[in-house]
Structure 1
Amino acid sequence: MNLNLSTIPSKEIMPGLHGKLVHSENMSMAFWDVEKGATVPEHSHMNEQIMHVMEGDFEFTLDGTTKVYGPGDIVIIAPHLKHSGIALTACKLLDVFSPTREEYR
């Protein structure tokens, strides 16, 4: 299967968090456009996750530790660890999940 990011419709998964989602049998990718001030409430999930900040400043709390991440920063999130975030500026983020995030289909 071949896709082009420009042809994938965007879904607002949470207020201010707009994602273009790509799924395979074993993984998901989420290309996020995040509005300044948008928050991701604390949560955890069974999926391993890798977050890449492509643009902007994103304050991220992982397992009780809060840091501000900027362009080029990558965070590896183990399954079941609580995490949350807030966009300090407009952001572009890339998340990769394994296994597939079925609730994002």
Structure 2
Amino acid sequence: MKIHLEKMTPEEIIPGFLGKMIHGEKMTLVYWEVKKDAEVPEHSHENEQIMQVLEGEFEFTVDGSTAIYKSGELIVIPPHLPHSGKALTPCLLMDIFSPVREAYR
């Protein structure tokens, strides 16, 4: 199945986080457009997550440790680990979740 990202309508999952979600059989891929200063509150989930910053600067806290991630940088978040974040600039992010992120269906 061919997917055209530019034809997808983003969904605002959290204020300031507009996501285009693609679900496979065992994983979810999300492209996020994030507004400056938008925050994702601390949470955890059963999914393993890989987050990549495509554009901008994103402050990410994982299990109490905070770092700033810039374009081209990634982080792997194990399942059930508390994490949160804030867009320091407008950002484009990509998340991969395994298994499928059912909360985003």
TM-fit CA distance, 1:8: 1.4
Give distance in 2, aligned partners of 1:34 and 1:102.
21
* TM-score in terms of structure 1 length: 0.98
Give distance in 1, aligned partners of 2:3 and 2:55.
23
Give distance in 2, aligned partners of 1:84 and 1:103.
17
Q: CA-atom RMSD, angstroms?
A: 0.5
Q: Which runs of 5+ in 1 are unaligned?
A: none
Identical amino acids, percent of aligned pairs: 55
Q: Which runs of 5+ in 2 are unaligned?
A: none
Runs of 4+ in structure 1 over 6 Å off? none
* Secondary structure of 2:100 counterpart: coil
Give distance in 1, aligned partners of 2:96 and 2:7.
19
- The residue number in structure 2 matching 1:47 is 47
1:81-96 pair list within 5 angstroms: 81-96=81-96
Give distance in 2, aligned partners of 1:41 and 1:93.
16
| Residue identity in the other structure for 2:15 | P
Q: CA deviation digits over 1:44-80, x for unaligned, max 9?
A: 0000000000000100000100000000000000000
**What is the total number of aligned residue pairs between the two structures?**
105
